């Protein structure tokens, strides 16, 4: 059995120590039986997983020619070994699932920030087009509370440290996903200055100006339509969130009513048992008194006969 090589160094030495350390998967899988930890991931476990994934990507880049034929399981086995060597006791399946969830939440937040920074207001005149970018810092993801994140269909508990660590990895070319962008507006036609001495040149200039006004009108209509669609989406999301909250409140109210009925039933049951107990006690006392009276009667009768 080959000896397990030392684990990779801490995260602050990543760039200098990716190549020298390669965990032996065959020996590590046979040297011990692992029992992975269950439950929610801690902050330290998540950062360890992100570090392991970053080192593994660098490692596989340096050995891409020899690792093309290896199955995917070996890659996540390497990540699992790294995590176990650094106190994160999770299986390769748990690491894979957690990484997929992290990327999904990261992309939602990234797209939301992209939407905030690309909100534009276009003002068009007959001679010039002005574009102004407006941002709203109070709408930044990390400035929102849990309820506001839920209303915007965003992850509710992504710490900023985790997001930044993911951003350092995802900015690599293999993770970059092209975001959808609005089609660029066609440039306005150049309006040449009219020549007063030539009537044909004047007509051509007026025609170009009319075409420019028509194109500007089309741009205004398209931007107005896009704004209406965006407001409709936001309004629909608000209505959906309100409906979900209302349904949750009704569900809680029904639960409270059921609990009240159950408590009432228990009280009635206890009262009935107490009545039965008192009745039985009274019956036993009456029978005892009756037997005593009969005994006294028999004793008196015998005494009279003697």
pLDDT for residue 180:
40
Round to whole Å and give the CA distance between 56 and 19: 10
Q: Which residues contact 7 (CB under 8 A, 6 or more apart)?
A: 21, 23, 81, 82, 85, 86
pLDDT for residue 260:
92
Q: What is the greatest pairwise CA distance in the chain?
A: 165
Alpha helices in the chain (DSSP H): 14-17, 25-30, 43-62, 64-67, 72-85, 92-117, 146-151, 160-170, 199-305
Query: Which of 237, 233, 187 lies closest to 212 in space, CA to CA?
Result: 187
Distances (CA, A) of 30 to 25, 26, 95, 194, 296: 9, 7, 20, 87, 92
Query: pTM of the full predicted structure?
Result: 0.44
pLDDT for residue 205:
61
Q: What does pLDDT average to in each consecutive run of 10 residues of the chain (306 residues)?
A: 45 39 43 83 95 90 62 78 94 93 92 78 41 54 88 90 90 50 45 48 63 74 87 90 91 92 92 92 92 90 80
Q: Please say whether the beta carbons of 119 and 181 come within 8 A.
A: no
Location of structure tokens 């990234």: 110
């Amino acid at each position: 059995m080959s000896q397990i090589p030392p684990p990779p160094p801490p995260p602050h030495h990543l760039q200098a120590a990716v190549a020298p350390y390669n965990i032996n998967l065959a020996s590590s899988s046979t040297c011990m039986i692992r029992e992975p930890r269950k439950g929610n991931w801690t902050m330290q476990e998540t950062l360890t997983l992100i570090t392991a994934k970053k080192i593994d990507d660098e490692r596989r880049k340096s050995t891409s020619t020899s690792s093309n034929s290896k199955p995917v399981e070996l890659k996540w086995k390497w990540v699992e070994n790294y995590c176990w060597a650094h106190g994160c006791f999770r299986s390769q399946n748990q690491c894979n699932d957690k990484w997929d969830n992290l990327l999904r939440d990261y992309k939602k937040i990234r797209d939301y920030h992209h939407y905030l920074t690309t909100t534009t207001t276009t003002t068009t005149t007959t001679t010039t087009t002005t574009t102004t970018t407006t941002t709203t810092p109070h709408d930044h993801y990390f400035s929102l509370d849990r309820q506001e994140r839920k209303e915007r269909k965003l992850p509710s508990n992504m710490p900023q440290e985790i997001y930044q660590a993911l951003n350092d990895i995802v900015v690599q070319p293999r993770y970059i996903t092209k975001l959808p962008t609005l089609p660029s507006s066609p440039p306005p036609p150049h309006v040449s200055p009219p020549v007063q001495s030539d009537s044909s040149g004047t007509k051509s200039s007026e025609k170009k100006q009319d075409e420019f006004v028509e194109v500007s009108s089309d741009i205004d209509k398209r931007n107005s339509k896009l704004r209406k669609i965006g407001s409709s989406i936001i309004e629909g999301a608000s209505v959906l969130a309100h409906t979900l909250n209302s349904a949750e409140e009704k569900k809680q109210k029904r639960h409270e009513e059921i609990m009240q009925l159950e408590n009432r039933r228990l009280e009635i049951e206890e009262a009935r048992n107490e009545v039965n107990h008192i009745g039985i006690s009274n019956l036993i006392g009456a029978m005892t008194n009756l037997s005593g009276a009969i005994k006294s009667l028999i004793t008196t009768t015998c005494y009279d006969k003697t």
